[in-house]
Each structure stands twice: as C-alpha cells, then as structure tokens.
Chain A
C-alpha cells in the first residue's frame, strides 16, 4: 500500500464516521460536530492527493484553504440558525422541528 492510499483511507474513515454521526445525532449541535468531521476528512484527502501525486500542489493546498474558509462561514451561519431555532422552539432536537415559517 502506498502512502497516498493510507492517507486517503484515513480521510474516508473521517468522512464515514462523520456521516454516521450526522444521521445518529438528535440535536443540531451534534450534527454540526459530525459535519466538521466530514469536512476535515475531505480536506485531508485533498492535501494528500495534491502532495503525493503529480498534480498541481499549489492548487491542492489552496483548495484546502478555501475549504477551511467555507467551513468557517458555515459554522458562523449554523451558530445563528441554532440561536434562532432555540429561541423559537426552546430546544434544538431535530425530531421536533417542523415549522419553517419566519
């Protein structure tokens, strides 16, 4: 097994555990934590491919940086959404949130 395969298997592991948590968790915050796991796995896979194959390494590292920026933006929005949901429903359990009207 090459180094690239090992790094990519770690990335796949993170992605799969993240999707497991995303389905299994009962609150929005737990889902957010699982989502960050998935994004980390994707970033690791991108950087591994950029550094260990003949592809453009600069492009790969910049792509990982952009993924990080998007993850930061997404976490900010999720914070606001969770605040609004908690203020409206008094809890953040995903099973009990049905109405979406502002």
Chain B
C-alpha cells in the first residue's frame, strides 16, 4: 500500500505542476481556467491521501462546482477574447518582478520547512464528519455563524454593485 500511496502522490504532483503552470502562463483565459480546475481536482486527491475525505468532497463541491463556474462567468461576461487581453509580450519589468516574487517566498519557506521539520506522526488520523459537525456546533460556533454572515454580505454586495450600475443607464 505504501507504493500505491507514493505513486498516487507523484501522479497528483505532476497534475499540480502542469496545471498550475498552465494556469499562470496560458494565453487564453479559458485554458488557464482548465489548468486551475485540474489543480483543484489534484488537491482534492491530496486531501484523500491525507485521510480527509470530507474535505476532499467539499473541495470538489465548492471549488470545482462553484468557484470555477463563477470565474468562467467573469471571463464570459467581460467578453475576453481567446487572443485578447492576455496575448502579447509581457514587459521585462513585469517578468522580472514576477520572478522575484516567485523566488523570495519559495526560498524562504522551503528553507524553513526543510531545516525545521515538525514532529510528524506516521499515519494521518481519520476524523469522521460527525466529529466535524460537533466541532462546528460546539466550540467553533461563532466562526461558523460569522462565515454565513460574510457569505450573505458578499452575495448581497455583489448583487448591489452589479445591479445599481445597470439601473443608472
């Protein structure tokens, strides 16, 4: 089983590498979104490897089912053409800035993670969804309620912002 887990981990790593590079470098925004969806599904697989199936299903439901559709609406409604806004060369200053922003956290975080490994347990523990539900309604009730308020405010604000502009015309 150890070999199976390592194979699956390598497979998900490959999907994450290719998908994320596709998501940030592709000229077409729809292709970039496809790369992002591949990364999301591979991260859900990583959650399954970590023995957190509930989080994996939520990842697929919320990200692949919800957020990616929202991003697709944003691409569609802004009438971005396939060779439109993202085509053309990136200015040298921007490319250099982007590489510095890539390298600085990569070097710092990698050194910290590799030099100071946390005391890890051998196998991931399995938490049942019932325990998660008890946590949500017990000690973490306030964040649970707050996030519903935040979601409601975000939805209402989004409708208000998009609708008032249309009414003015």
Q: Which residues of A contact B (CB under 8 A)?
A: 1-10, 12-30, 32-34, 36-37, 40, 43-44, 47-49, 51-54, 57-59, 61-62, 64-66, 68-84, 86-88, 91-93
A36 to B121, CA, bound (A): 29
Supposing A13-B16, A29-B29 touch, asked if A58 and B105 sit within 8 A by C-beta, the answer is no
Supposing A53-B121, A79-B73 touch, asked if A44 and B154 sit within 8 A by C-beta, the answer is no
Interface size class of B (residues with CB under 8 A): 35 or more
Chain A residue numbers with a CB within 8 Å of B165 are 83-84, 87-88
Q: In the complex, are the beta carbons of B125 and A79 less than 8 A apart?
A: no
Chain B residue numbers with a CB within 8 Å of A61 are 52, 54-55, 127, 132
Q: In the complex, are the beta carbons of A86 and B79 less than 8 A apart?
A: yes
The residue from B43, B98, B153 contacting A43, defined by CB atoms under 8 A apart: B43
The residue from B105, B121, B135 contacting A59, defined by CB atoms under 8 A apart: B135
Across the interface, name the chain B residue whose C-beta is closest to A8.
B113
Chain A residue numbers with a CB within 8 Å of B1 are none
How many A-B pairs have beta carbons closer than 8 Å: the answer is 242
Chain B residue numbers with a CB within 8 Å of A27 are 29, 78, 80, 85-86
A43 to B31, CA, bound (A): 23
Which B54-112 residues sit within 8 Å CB-CB of chain A?
Answer: 54-55, 58-59, 62-63, 66-67, 70-71, 73-75, 77-80, 85-86, 90, 94-95, 97-99, 101-103, 105-106, 109-110
Is B8 close to A, CB under 8 A? no
Q: In the complex, are the beta carbons of B71 and A83 less than 8 A apart?
A: no
